[in-house]
Structure 1
Amino acid sequence: TDAFDTEQLLECMGQLKRALPVNVPIYDFKNHRRCSERFRKVNASDVIILEGILVFHDQRVRNLMDMKIFVDTDADIRLARRIRRDTVERGRDVSSVLDQYGRFVKPAFDDFVLPSKKYADVIIPRGGDNHVAIDLIVQHIRTKLGMHDLCKVFRNVFVVQSTFQVKLIIFID
């Protein structure tokens, strides 16, 4: 975890959650280092998607998330995508990709990424091919945004967080 700048991530996410734009550092995968002179400007938004294979590792990062999604993809598909990406986009040869995968990537996945699945609110099997799960998540986000918009339009409206007790009260009345 020393390779990750969690403090920088927390700072960026904090600014975005306060509706402030941020300059996110860009990582150069060919040279294996952060570009000190280049940044990606990210503007504030009602929906922030934070993506990364180790994004659930730090509890402080997890606490910033309203919904935690683990996209579960078959190991063969993950390897095929890595080979394609690393050879085409990063100029590596297949032999070095397979060596790195066997020595570092697969063991790290088993030791760190897979156990983080327990922190997910939603697990999507079959990855991006699972259109039903994706549609449900999109609908959930749209519903939350609708509540947010309602509070913007009517300043005296407060949306109460849904809990078992609140649902029970609603059904009793």
Structure 2
Amino acid sequence: MLIIGIAGGTGSGKTTVVQQIIEELPVDEVCIISQDSYYKDTTHLSFDQRVKINFDHPQAIDFDLLVNHLKELKKGNSFEQPVYSFVDHNRTGETVTTHPRKVVIVEGILILTHPDIRELFDIKIFVHADSDERLIRRLKRDIAERGRDLEEVLSRYQTTLKPMHQQFIEPTKEFADIIIPTNRYNTVAVNLIRSIINQKLTKTES
């Protein structure tokens, strides 16, 4: 099993990079786990209280659960991955059964901030994008997919996203084995990662 961690700021293009990496891999050999599924359960809080949570701080993530789930996969066991709602700012109570695969990709803005999770990654990738580009992508996504309005997204970016990025996310570049700039389609980096994955899969099968 090859476990790959893909980090980077909000709106940096992590999802695009994941898709580019896996598009030539057999579907039944890849498992994708999103850090977003591991926001802590906030059922005990009111909606107004949940809205005020700093979701870009490492304390918002249930890293213990994520570590346990990754260890279960390494043992060859399946687990129930939580489902998170960005509209309700809480877990839905539903889960998705996640099975062990030859390639496991974990993606999220904060996944390289936690030492126990970093140790589980065979390859650590940081996706870099210009801050203006990240803001534009975040605006489009949050308004279209998460029910936010323009003022809310801009306010959150200025008060939370930008300072959290500078404090927690940007420094994790130093842990990355590969840094991918996404201001263009970076064929060299993506092909390098695909090559490493294919070598691992071939070695596993032989």
Aligned counterparts of 1:145 and 1:128: Cα–Cα separation in 2: 28
Q: In the alignment, residue 110 of structure 2 is paired with which amino acid? A: L
The 3-state SS of whatever aligns with 1:24 is strand
The 3-state SS of whatever aligns with 2:88 is coil
Alignment of 1:67 onto 2:123 = yes
Change (3 A) 1:127 1:96: same
Paired position in structure 2 for 1:126: 182
Larger radius of gyration: 1
Paired position in structure 2 for 1:86: 142
Tell me the CA shift for residue 105 of structure 1: 0.3
Determine which of 68, 89, 94 is the counterpart of 1:11: 68
1:1-173 mapped onto 2 (5 Å cutoff): 1-36=58-93, 38-126=94-182, 129-150=185-206
The 3-state SS of whatever aligns with 1:106 is helix
Question: Identity, % of aligned pairs?
Answer: 38
Tell me the CA shift for residue 126 of structure 1: 2.1
- 1:34-59 CA deviation, whole Å, 9 max, x = no partner? 222x0122111010000011001111
Aligned counterparts of 2:75 and 2:115: Cα–Cα separation in 1: 20
Tell me the CA shift for residue 128 of structure 1: 6.8
Give the unaligned 5+ runs of structure 1. Answer: 151-173
Higher strand share: 2
Aligned counterparts of 2:172 and 2:65: Cα–Cα separation in 1: 21
Tell me the CA shift for residue 24 of structure 1: 0.5
**More relative contact order in 1 or in 2 (CA 8 Å, sep 6+)?**
2
Tell me the CA shift for residue 75 of structure 1: 1.1
On the 8 A contact 1:128/1:134 being kept in 2, the answer is no
Q: In the alignment, residue 78 of structure 2 is paired with which amino acid? A: P
On the 8 A contact 1:56/1:62 being kept in 2, the answer is yes
The 3-state SS of whatever aligns with 1:70 is strand
Tell me the CA shift for residue 127 of structure 1: 6.1
The 3-state SS of whatever aligns with 1:82 is helix
TM-score scaled by length of structure 1 = 0.82
Tell me the CA shift for residue 90 of structure 1: 1.0
- 1:85-115 CA deviation, whole Å, 9 max, x = no partner? 1101111111110111011001100110000
TM-score scaled by length of structure 2 = 0.70
